[in-house]
Amino acid sequence: MPEGSHTIDTSKSDAVLARLMGLHPKKIDLSLGRMHSILAALGNPETKLPPVIHIAGTNGKGSTTATLRAIAEAAGHRVHVYTSPHLVRFAERIRVAGQIIDEDHLTDLLERCETAAAGKPITFFEITTAAALLAFAETPADLCILEVGLGGRLDATNVVEKPAAVGLTPISMDHEQFLGNSIGVIAAEKAGIIKAGVPCVVGYQPKEALECINRIAAELGVKPYHYTGGWNAEKNPGGGFQYEDWKSVLDLPSPNLVGDHQILNASMAIALAHVQKAVSIPDAAIKAGLGWVRWPGRLQDLRGTNLHGILPESADLWLDGGHNPAAARVLKTFLREVDPVERSITLIVGMMGNKDIPGYLKPLAGLIDQVIAVDIPGEEGAASAGTIAAAATDLSISGTVAKDVEAALHMINDKARADRPPFVLIAGSLYLAGDTLRTAGVLPQ
């Protein structure tokens, strides 16, 4: 259901963000040198943060972060959170003591970082991460959760000398142009957030990633808390799930996020809550937090929005920003869970050009009736709708194109049958998810 429909004037912060884009180096060399320089110019805010929990991985980072925040706040703690990318407006990335940063505060921070950069080349993510760290250092809180942007070892968030805990969610192929073309190489980059003397929680991993993580951890003298080793979770037949680790065995309600995979994401968050020693999080807070956690753009129900109004009232409309084969496998499981028997299932897809489009569509072949491909507005690096439709056709999925999501929904409505209500998934990109929420008038809160 819609989160919020009011609009916020972002013109001032947008103007500064546009100027910061102009500082982007012509050639990106992945290093932390630029980050350390701007942080020094800002008075080293990274040394003045509340206790930090640092989270890296390919899939589930955002959901794990959202769940950890929810249970920590349910325990009465003030929590800073940094995530990326945003869906509708940039401010979503920076949550200060529980609230999305307000526009005046954001604009002030960005201008201070612009002054500190003094015109020197710095990436957009680096300078905006510096702004987030500055906000977190200057506002009292009990906990600070930092989600890695890309990789880990050389990510702009990897500047905290000794976090309270680090977590590695499931790792799979993604961002190969920056991180490498094998699971092992990518895992080595993400495991770069592991630090000597800092507790480390590791989610489900493929064998190659696990071996790499264990090797790096051993070199640092760290013994990770592994899924099925240090902690475990099992879905209960009657609903909810059982979580077990070195500390406790808990019977818990299913998280307020759609899909069985969210049980593992929630369990990862619980393991992080248990392994850190900075704040107290009782079992009652874990149960309460699971009940109200929200994470927009991930299997989000869009019934009741103006976009759903284009379709017959009995239609389902869902949104998911996942963009790699692992995310598509989650959609496959979701479709089997909801089991839309006698429904016409349509995937409206927009993807970036650097993603594995056939690999994303392949798990869904045989489950969906058609793909309607769309361009992603305003994204130069987006794959063309024609390319996506052709990839669907190659997999024996009916593939066609539409101008945009609204046009695709009208196409579906025009062919809808009363005895076979449409089941529609808009998917393939967080950028498309953001544009869809904007069109739907839904503002993440």
Structure tokens that stand for 236 in this block: 């209960």
Three state DSSP letters for 346-415: EEEECCECCCCHHHHHHHHCCCCCEEEECCCCCCCCECCHHHHHHHHHHCCCEEEECCCHHHHHHHHHHC
Rg for the chain, CA atoms, rounded: 21
CATH of domain 11-292: 3.40.1190.10
> Domain residues of the chain, as ranges?
11-292, 300-440
What pLDDT does 438 receive?
A: 93
* Burial class of 251 by CB neighbour count within 10 A (0 to 12, 13 to 18, 19+): exposed
Asked if residue 332 has pLDDT above 80, the reply is yes
Count of CB atoms within 10 A of residue 393's CB?
13
What pLDDT does 418 receive?
A: 82
- CA dist 300 and 122 (Å) reads 34
- CA dist 338 and 344 (Å) reads 13
Q: Tell me the pLDDT band of 176, cut-offs 50, 70 and 90.
A: very low
For the whole model, what pTM was predicted?
A: 0.92
Pairing of strands 143-147, 99-100: unpaired
DSSP lists the bridge partners of residue 225 as: 201
What pLDDT does 339 receive?
A: 72
pLDDT digits (tens, 9 = 90+) for 218-274: 999 999 999 999 999 999 998 999 999 999 999 999 999 998 899 999 999 999 999
Tell which wins on pLDDT, 28 or 398. Answer: 398
Q: Tell me the pLDDT band of 417, cut-offs 50, 70 and 90.
A: confident
What pLDDT does 181 receive?
A: 66
Determine phi and psi for 234, rounding to 5 degrees: -135, 135
* Helix (H) or strand (E) segment spanning residue 202: strand 200-202
- Mean pLDDT (whole number) for 175-199: 83
- CA dist 210 and 204 (Å) reads 8
- Mean pLDDT (whole number) for 38-55: 99
According to CATH, the superfamily of the domain at 300-440 is Mur ligase, C-terminal domain (3.90.190.20)
Strand arrangement, sheet containing 300-301: 300-301, 316-320, 422-427, 344-349, 370-373, 398-401
Query: Per DSSP, which regions of 17-73 are E strands?
Result: 52-56
